[in-house]
Structure 1
Amino acid sequence: MGATTPGLGIAPAAHAQTTAADAEPAALTELVDEVDIPYEKFTLDNGLDVIVHTDRKAPVVAVAVWYNVGSKDEPEGKSGFAHLFEHLMFNGSENAPNDYFQYLQEMGATDYNGTTNFDRTNYFQTVPTPALERALWLESDRMGYLLGAVTQAKLDNQRGVVQNEKRQGDNQPGGLIFYEIVETLFPAPHPYDHTPIGSMADLDSASMEDVRDWFRDKYGPNNATVVLAGDVSAAEARPLVEKYFGPIARGPVNNPAQANIPELAEDVRTVMRDQVAATSINKYWTAPGISDRELTALTVGAQILGGLSSSRLDNALVRDEKIAVGVSGGNYAFQRVGILTVSATAAPDADAALVERRLNELVDQFIAEGPTEDEVRRAATSSVADTIRGLEQVGGRGGKAVTLASGEVLADDPDFYARQFEILATLTPAEVQAAMQRWMTRPAMTLVLEPGERDADYEEAASVAASDGGSASEAADDEITVTQVRPAPPIASIAELDFPDVEHRTLANGMTLHYAMRDAVPATYVTLSFDAGSAADPLDKRGLESLTLGLFEEGTTSLSSREIAETGERLGADVSLGGGADRSSFTLSALSANLVPSLELLSDIVRNPAFDSAEVERVRAQQITGVEQELRTPASIAARTAAPLIYGENSPYAGPGNGTVASLRSITRDDITGFKNRWIRPDNGEVFVVSDRPIDEIVTALDAVFGDWQAPTVAKGEKAFATQPKEAEASRIVLVDRPNSPQSYIYGGQMTPADARDETYVDFLNANNALGGNFLARLNMNLREAKGWSYGVRGAPLTNEKAVAYTVRAPVQADRTGDALAELIRETSEFLGTNGVSDEELTRIVTAEIGELPGQFETSGAILRAMQTNALYGRPDDHYERLANRYRAQTTESLDAAARAAIDPDRFVWVVVGDAEIVAPQLEQLGLPVERVEMGASE
């Protein structure tokens, strides 16, 4: 391993590649000191806690509202109710009676949603600074003025939506195992004895009185925390918070459920079967919750065991013994309890019993020996680096607002993250070993998931069993109380996007550098982008690009795959490979303090891959297992089936990008080295950098590391875009039978003449925002919000460099497949015919798109992706700053013209993946030809 085969054109760089592995990274204590979220906290007279963090880097503010209630607080017989109520909180309040997503779009909000877990319910959005007052009005209205707007019809509809969310999860391979885990580890009547999604029967039983009682008991301001993070100070925020939240009366004193940490009486071993590609062995132990002193030690121990790229399980089972294609390890800590877990997925030719035995032996060995100092430091550095990168964002699911809110609500301390980092900076191997010995020597649950016909039944809703053909939208609505005693405050101005200036340089090796400065966090992001992508695959070697990229990190001529992983972890650097259909990219996320050695690591990976034969076979086995799993997953089955029908079998975009089982088996090492030499070369690529360091420093570092990189003598690759696919003459249905599926997955598509380089393309995108592009689009509002037949529907163009396809994706409950497809066809035909974009839709869409611009480019990663997109489509550097004026000039006529020029309602291929016994009779009533194919027929 590590030696290159002579004569294949892969030579090491002229300079020795030792800097990365030998470099002394920045001290962990210094990195921990970089993580700081200063805040001010105050409490209103009604008990509402308010936390404000100021971050002026962009004109946006994250608003997070957390309620100290989750599924653990549900009474018996009401499982899933906290989550159901979260859905109802988006359906309008007394002074804001419309769907909340409408108000959020009017504000130009980004990163908005709500979530429920065992312990809490939260609502979050990031809004332009001028819209902050409107956001506080909106959040306070559902906190204090909700019940008059909740009707039986809304309850029935959202019950259906949640039940389809449950079906969507249950329908995935392995989708039933979490129920088994929770019921085994936390047997009833433990507060954590059921999942947040709940049971169909309990959801069926939820009544309006339940809704009213839950709101009164759980959603008072004294059970909530509001966090504002971003372009606002506490002095600016306090009067606004007091104005909108202050008048809301206290609710009952809420006492979140307490819970002990149960211990199994003895080891439990359960075997389940499902549509999975390989056997996985999963072990679980109960553990303490987040406020326990041992939290950090347990998390680090789980990372070392199975979470890091260089984990003990990865090294032994995947790299050395090659009996597993994947492993994992984690510590999932909730407020009162936690779950420690490790798992391994057996390689195709491995004995699952051997994998299980070795997994147990390695766990026992780790507990007996404990980790090394280097392992603890690497795990800690990786954790700190991830946190530093994540905290560039003020909102969303993992930014500063979430960090402060979770600490306050779950640990009674907004600085909880800082206390954990203090522990992390000084954590010793002995502390990790002691924690693992205390908790992982207790009885464990082993769950073996084997390929085969599912032997556990998913639970169906009574509403399906007793269906009479009606829908949620047909229920008689109650009177909605719209008081309007609290009118919405105006949004006085519009926050304009200030996209960073982009500079361009030519590096010593001839590559063009595109650079932008962002100094919000001490991090540097570097992407090497090559004109390849899955479109570069030969027709008979689909998956070659993906397999080749997967091998670059699996050993160079100087470092083994283990040494690559360990080096990256010590530096806090992460290298990700991907790029999609048109480009192959290597992206480095580095702490700027460790930039040069991180670049050395990236250079070694890109320039000197060993492509060791044993590693080729190992990664090939992993990718084949992944493909076989895709052939069992509804969305992937649909996409794989649809692509050649839409693009034509010989199109470079027909894929599949990950290949087929047959194509992957046919790929040789010569194919892999040939791909690298033809495509991954300096004369076929560009460099994109976003950093807090000045451009001259970046150029100096890149030239020092990549300056002597020269292209090989072989010719660059060429893609086979010679022939254009023949458009479908008429719509048709292709049915893929997937027995025992509680949902069907509908995937419609067609080629379009649209071109992303054309200035009218943004008209097409905004027209689609009325049809299928977002939550409020017609397709979603019909099948989700009106009918309750789906958890979510989207229509979207698949934008590639050489072709644009239009697709519609709709997972729907099985008994409504035909009805749902009929509605998709009707909505699309009417939109493209006589019922185009309305004035109301135009106003909403344009307002939203302009308002969202500042929030879309808050992070370095977003800037980096935008720069690459501009380069791909030949757009100017200030493309995104120009968009606001383009949007303002749009009319209903311009949007209708763009949509009608691109999409033909009579040329869709509709792929339906579902239980043919249930679905086929429904589809036959639609008047379109129906062709039945087997799963994986194209493989």
Structure 2
Amino acid sequence: MAVGVLAMLGCGPQRAGKGTTPGGDGGAAASPSERAAIIAASDLPDTIAKPLPGDPMQVTVHRLSNGMTVYVSVDREKPRYLGWIGVRAGSRHDPADSTGLAHYLEHMLFKGTDEFGTLDPAAEAPHVERVRALYAELREVGDDAAKRARIFGEIDRETQAIATTAIPNELDRLYATMGVEGVNAFTSDEQTVYIGDVPSNRMEAWAALEIERFSDPVFRLFYPELEAVYEEKNLSLDDPDNRVWETMMKGLLPQHPYGAQTTIGESAHLKSPAYQDMVDYFERWYVPNNMAIVLAGDVDAKTALPLLERSFGQLEPKAVPTDLPGKVVPLSGRIAREVVAEGEEAVQIAWLTVPVSHADEPVIAVMDRLLDDEKVGLMNTQLELTQKLPEASSFSQSLREAGYFGVRGLARGGQSPAEVEQLLVGVIEKLRRGEFSEADIEAAKLHHSVDRKLRLEFTSARANEMMDAFVTHQQWDDVVARDARFAAVTKADVVRVANAYLGDDRVVVVRREGKPEVAKIDKPKITPVKIDPSRKSAFGKRIEAMPAAQLEPQWAVEGRDYAHRKLPAGDLIASRNVRNDLFTLEYRFDRGYRKEPLLCYALDLLELSGAKDRSAEQFQKQVYALGASVSTWCDAEHSSVSISGPDDKLEPVLALMDEWLAAPSFDGKTLSSLRDNTLSTRMDGMAEDRQLSSALDSFAKYERRSAWLRRPSNRALQRAQPNTLRKLISSFMDHRHRTLYFGPREADLVAKVVPRGKRHREVGEVEVKSYRRTAGPRVFFLHKEGAKANVRFVLPQGPLPRELRPNAELYSEYLSGSMSALVFQEIRESRGLAYSAYSVYDPGDRPRDASGLLGFMSTQADKTPVAVETFLELLRAPGVQGDRLAVAKASIDQRYRASRLEPRWINYWVIAWDDLGEPTDPRPAQWKRMAELGEVDLEAFAKRFADTDVIVAIVGDRSRVDLGALRKVAEVQEVKVEDLFSYGPFPAAPAEARPPAGASAPAPA
């Protein structure tokens, strides 16, 4: 490729024999001595050829010749590995006048290079360069609306020219055909990380694709991708929890990028994005001696390192700019802030603490557990078990340059923020006074070790820990030693640290109920980009043609992977934990609040109660001291009680569970507090976006059979008495149930220990799912002010015949199996109609259940009618695109070959198969049948939706959503919030208490 073209297109670390930097000839490669000096100055971790003693992850750390660090943690559970590529650069490194840059650069690194993502890099080059120049011009014109409109119009035209040769999402399509899953990326304060879950036979292709991605990226289709970034920003502005967090961080660190800048970016900066700053940022930070590759799973350093050296080793090292520390200013006094949002009211308090490398960091981690862990932390016992607050929690974070510690309390109706703050501070004062025991600390340490074992069952936890070590500049031996430092913490340490950091100098953020006034980003008009799924680059074809040894699928086999045993109360399903000594035991009932309206309420009360003569705190601490936990779960159709912990403690924990269920210490005071908090939480939920969207969707689909309309009314809760609820609990185990055990023991040994219940009463069948019948297409619309609309679809069908389940699975993959699949590409990438969009076929949980094609998208409210119409056109499209189908089939084939059922979750797969009437693992037959399916088969399956009356549920703003335009698509029925819930009238809330004397009024955020 000519140097002149590279000057316009390429941007990235210099690669031996290829590439240069924008605006120059790239310069000569560094000499060996210069390379060595650059690498030595990059503050890289020491290499570790053999795992350190006492390292449960058995990590090795390696260095490529160009300074790129490689971490490896081997796990042979399945023939896959997580491949994470991380950069020590995030939003903390954004220029102060170009915030959000690291994040939208992350988006752009999915667009391809001069080798893939386009059919003709030379043809697109002048248009890419013109877009760069236009964005520079946009930053010069400020807020001049006419000039901005002209520039956006020209950017749109240049984008259309680029699209004539572009291959959108070729990266994701290539990964889909290879069986790579979870392709994504994330940006935070100190890092940007690109992730993939890769079949172990595809490392060579993965490395070839990733080195190309980071060598010569081309930021094509920048304009439509910004639409997604704008939507993401608007979603963050609509999220009260996000606004509370950002307000807290600005209060804590107003002069540091951690607090002064947000990862998504300031609206003013996003309106005029700095294209050239993005290029410069990539050049500055995306260099090999500032990057790490993390491999966790079925991989060996011996085979991986030579391959990585041949690929990533081509990148030229470059001096990394001095990462100047931000300014951390000590807090002075109580700094009050307020966030106005609909729904719940809450108080969040935070203090500055220490960075990750500080000696006090492990003490703060212990302190966090002492405050909030299971149900025995001070926050839990003092505030939640007593129901002084509906919810209370603590949190802690140590970054490279600063740290913070916080607590949060949810207010119930009529409870003032001042009272909530007072309760939270009261618990902190108990901590500062040392009102806890050494036994509490030892139990917290035991649970830390249990949690460590549990986390290491998952490669994602391993990858995350290794990447965190790299981006925070920690040596791996320090990471390994942290467990020992944690174990050495004493009560005196905690009291000292609590008094040192958790004092009067703090930030208090009040989330107050009200209608917020949040300015949203207005998005420019974008002409849809035409997408041709048949396009392939020459590079992409070479990647697809790379040879790889074929993996063979492994199915779940009864007797080897799990066991069924008949118990008096129902089936036992048991599977072995061969990784560690932990167990989980669950008693699962097909009985919820539909059959027994007050059952879930009784279980809620049980969670706040002790056993026999022990208080709730005493009982929970007794369980906690064993390294164990006990919990319940309940919904409309199901309920359960579960215990977990070290397997040698199974019998004593089981005995405690028996006491808890047989003789719960219910009392009127706890029930009264639970009732007040439940009613308050219900009222708050009726203003929350997620809950409203769920309730409307359920109402639209199931009418009066909606789960939200089956819940007991407020009056029923008010009338409930302790004795009535106690009887529901004492007889709980006397109903038929299934018992699920995952742990080290053999099934026959488990069967001797776990049977429970005396009478084994029948519970009846789970309700057969059936959808609402409508005379024509119907839109159910719920008004809620805001910039976005949440839209859900269903095209109802009858029960799905067993022989068509493979068709349904393949059709789901075809529609939304990846970012290169039909729905995401056409809705987001081509037209910019939604930030998120997907569709999947729901086959039902049981043979008699109705099935249906489901869809979801979150869109800008004023785009709702066209977005709905476009989505329906896709779902009802008469034909099947052969190229997309080929990708879907290849993706599913590779998934079945390279995936294995996680041992911890295999019991739940078996339950699902049992419910469907499958005596054995049904996947072998489905895999074989999907390989046989072709376009004709899938088109025949898709035709069933052509004339199906769609049901649409939309939560949006009536003033922004054109209901007249929606009526051209379907009949529109507006519903009220009270139509969606069974609660009925709420009691009048008490007047809000006055703030305590001397409390200052919070300043608006």
Which TM-score applies when normalising by structure 2?
0.80
Of 841, 844, 859, 1:812 maps to: 859
Give distance in 2, aligned partners of 1:561 and 1:854. 48
Pick the aligned partner of 1:866 from 904, 909, 914.
909
1:376 to partner: Cα distance: 1.6
Q: Which residue of 2 aligns with 1:241?
A: 308
Change in 2 beyond 3 A, CA 1:742/1:349: same
1:893 and 1:804 map into 2 onto residues whose CA distance is 21
Deviation at 1:828, TM superposition (A): 1.7
Pair 516,485 (structure 1): closer, same or farther in 2 beyond 3 Å: closer
Letter in 1 for 2:107: H
Distance in 2, Cα, partners of 1:927 & 1:803: 24
* CA displacement, residues 305-329 of structure 1 (integer Å, 9 cap, x when unaligned): 2454212122222333x33111011
Structure 2: how far apart are the matches of 1:803 and 1:624? 33
Report the CA distance shift for 1:160/1:356 in structure 2 as closer, same or farther (over 3 A): same
Correspondence for 2:389? 324
Change (3 A) 1:375 1:656: farther
The 5 A counterparts of 1:607-686 are: 608-649=663-704, 651=705, 653-655=706-708, 661=714, 664-665=717-718, 672=725, 676=729, 680-681=732-733, 683-686=735-738
Which residue is 1:787 aligned to? 831
What is the letter of the counterpart of residue 451 of structure 2? D
Residue from 572, 582, 585 that aligns with 1:526:
585
| SS state at 1:355 partner | helix
C-alpha offsets along residues 897-929 of structure 1, whole Å, 9 cap, x if unaligned?
34444x465412222111111113564563432
Letter aligned with residue 773 of structure 2: E
Post-superposition CA distance 1:856-912 (Å, at most 9, x none):
5453333232122222222233234544323323333333334444x4654122221
Matches within 5 A, 1:127-138: 127-138=198-209
Residues 130 and 812 (structure 1), Cα distance of their counterparts in 2 relative to 1, 3 Å cut: same
Partner Cα separation in structure 1 for residue 594 and residue 934 of structure 2: 36
2:891 matched to which residue of 1? 848
The equivalent position to 2:876 in structure 1, one of 805, 826, 829, is 829
**Matching residue of 1:24:** none
For the residues of structure 1 that align with 2:715 and 2:311, how far apart are their CA atoms?
A: 62
Partner letter of residue 554 of structure 1? L
- Structure 1 position 724, deviation (Å): 5.8
- Residues 728, 348 of structure 1: alpha-carbon distance in 2 compared, 3 angstrom cutoff: same
Residue 689 of structure 1 corresponds to 741
Cα offset, 1:745, TM superposition: 1.0
Residue equivalent to 2:152: none
Instruction: Give the secondary structure class of the aligned counterpart of 2:960.
Output: helix
**Counterpart for residue 458 of structure 1:** 518
Q: In structure 1, what is the equivalent of residue 600 of structure 2?
A: 546
C-alpha distance after superposition, 1:817-862 (max 9, x if no partner): 22211211222222xxx223x3323322222223224665453333
- Return the letter of the residue paired with 1:532: R
CA 1:128 to 1:115, structure 2 compared with 1: closer, same or farther past 3 Å? same
Deviations 1:639-697, CA, capped at 9 Å, x for gaps: 21232332231x3x54357666566546555664565577x435511112222333344
Contact 1:371 1:432 in 2 (8 A): no
Q: Which moved more, 1:69-78 or 1:625-634?
A: 625-634
1:777 aligns to 2:821 (yes or no): yes
CA distance in 2, matches of 1:353, 1:387: 38
Q: CA deviation at 1:177?
A: 1.9
Gaps of 5+ in 1: 1-31
Partner Cα separation in structure 2 for residue 835 and residue 864 of structure 1: 39
User: Counterparts of 1:245-260 in structure 2 under 5 Å?
Assistant: 245-260=312-327
Deviates more, 1:430-439 or 1:878-887: 878-887
Look up the match of 1:418. Answer: 480
Matches within 5 A, 1:211-222: 211-222=278-289
- For 1:169-228, what per-residue CA distance to the aligned partner results, in whole angstroms no more than 9, with x for missing partners? 322344422222222211135454222111122122224322322221111111111111
1:269 is matched with: 336
1:294 matches 2:342: no
1:394-409 map, 5 Å: 394-395=459-460, 399-409=461-471
**What is the percent sequence identity of the aligned residues?**
18
**TM superposition shift of 1:161:** 0.9
Answer yes or no: is the 8 Å Cα contact 1:576–1:586 preserved in 2.
Answer: yes
Cα displacement string for residues 535-573 of structure 1 (whole angstroms, at most 9, x for unaligned residues): 535xxx4xx443333334332533533234323432332
Amino acid aligned to 2:745: R
CA 1:826–1:183 in 2, change beyond 3 Å: closer, same or farther? same
SS in 2 for 1:598: helix
How much does 1:444 deviate?
Answer: 0.5
Q: Give the 3-state SS of the residue equivalent to 1:217 in structure 2.
A: helix
Whole-angstrom distance in 2 between the partners of 1:603 and 1:856: 38
1:67 aligned partner: 87
The residue aligned with 2:510 is 448
User: What RMSD, in angstroms, separates the aligned Cα atoms of the two structures?
Assistant: 3.1
**Match of residue 490 from structure 1:** 547
DSSP-derived class of the 1:571 partner: coil
Residue of structure 2 in register with 1:16 after alignment: none
Kept after mapping to 2: 8 A contact 1:546/1:658: no
1:752 aligns with 2:808: no
Between the two proteins, the alignment pairs up a number of residues equal to 869
Q: Give the residue type in structure 1 aligned to 2:937.
A: S
Are 2:782 and 2:955, in contact at CA under 8 Å, matched by a contact in 1? yes
CA contact (8 A) 2:116 2:539 kept: no
Aligned equivalent of 1:735: 781
Larger Rg: 2
Q: Please say if residues 55 and 229 of structure 1, whose CA atoms lie closer than 8 Å, have aligned partners that are also in contact.
A: yes
- In structure 2, the partner of 1:102 is 173
Q: Is the 8 A contact 1:261 1:286 kept in 2?
A: no
Q: 8 Å contact 2:594–2:711 — kept in the other structure?
A: no
What corresponds to 1:578 in structure 2? 633
Aligned equivalent of 1:912? 954
Cα 1:724–1:209 shift into 2, 3 Å: closer
Cα distance in structure 2, aligned partners of 1:897 and 1:670: 58
- Deviation (angstroms), 1:430: 0.9
Please say if residues 114 and 122 of structure 1, whose CA atoms lie closer than 8 Å, have aligned partners that are also in contact: yes
Contact 1:191 1:257 in 2 (8 A): no
Q: Is residue 309–residue 565 contact of structure 1 (8 Å, CA) maintained in 2?
A: yes
Alignment CA distance shift 1:627-1:134 (3 Å): farther
Deviation at 1:331, TM superposition (A): 0.7
Instruction: Find the aligned partners of 1:800 and 1:104 in 2 and give their Cα distance.
Output: 30
Does the 8 A contact of 1:160 with 1:472 survive in 2? no
Instruction: Say which of 58, 61, 82 aligns to 1:38.
Output: 58
Contact residue 209 and residue 543 of structure 2 kept, 8 A: no
> Within the alignment, does 1:435 sit opposite 2:474 as a pair?
no
**Aligned partner (choices 762, 779, 782) of residue 716 of structure 1:** 762
> Against the structure 1 CA distance between its residues 89 and 668, is the aligned structure 2 distance closer, same or farther, given a 3 Å change threshold?
farther
- Aligned residues of 1:126 and 1:855 also touching (Cα < 8 A): no
Decide which moves more: 40-49 or 745-754. 745-754
1:285 to 351, 354, 368: 351
Alpha-carbon distance in structure 2 between the residues aligned to 1:160 and 1:336: 33
State the secondary structure of the residue aligned to 1:195.
coil
Indicate if the aligned counterparts of 1:164 and 1:789 stay in contact, CA closer than 8 A: no
1:122 is aligned to 2:154 = no
Query: Does the 8 A contact of 2:736 with 2:763 survive in 1?
Result: no
Question: 2:936 matched to which residue of 1?
Answer: 893
Mapped to 1, the partners of 2:494 and 2:952 lie a distance apart of 54
Distance 1:545 1:818 in 2: 42
